[in-house]
Amino acid sequence: MKHQSASIHELARLELLAGLPGETLAELAERMERRVMAPGESCDVRGQLVAVINGLAHASDGSGQREAVEPGGVVPEASVSLRAVTPVTVVRCPRSVLEEVVGAPPTPA
């Protein structure tokens, strides 16, 4: 598992963030973590904005319900964990950071 900052280019490709100005994307990129996950690896996503940059993952709500999250997709807010099906790159930050930088959390289309 590698940790580093997200890139502006990666964030701009996410439908959820695509309409944000470059300055906002730059600030988010500095505050978002980019993480590479191996198949089978999982992470806790509670209270975070998590988006898949590449690969395939399954989000779980803790009751056994799973939802596939593909490149460009955002992990549903009710999810508690994310498990990589293939090698996956995600970007994430606390939802509070998103609200601080953007002013109000964008909602998925």
Q: Give the chain's mean pLDDT.
A: 88
Predicted confidence at residue 80, as pLDDT, reads 95
CA 72 to CA 49: how far, in whole Å? 13
Asked whether residue 27 is domain-assigned, the answer is: yes
59: left (phi over 0), alpha (psi -120 to 50) or beta: beta
User: pLDDT digit string (tens) for 80-98?
Assistant: 999 999 999 999 999 999 8
Q: Print the domain residue range for 84.
A: 2-102
Asked whether residue 93 is domain-assigned, the answer is: yes
Asked whether residue 107 is domain-assigned, the answer is: no
Q: Is 11:17 a contact under the CB 8 Å cutoff?
A: yes
What CATH number should be reported for the domain holding residue 54?
A: 2.60.120.10
Asked whether residue 109 is domain-assigned, the answer is: no
More confident residue, 27 or 109: 27
Asked whether residue 21 is domain-assigned, the answer is: yes
Residue 68 CB coordination number (10 Å): 11
User: pLDDT digit string (tens) for 44-65?
Assistant: 999 999 999 999 999 999 888 8
State the pTM of this model: 0.83
Strand order in the sheet with 57-60: 42-44, 81-84, 57-60, 66-69
Specify the number of domains making up the chain.
Answer: 1
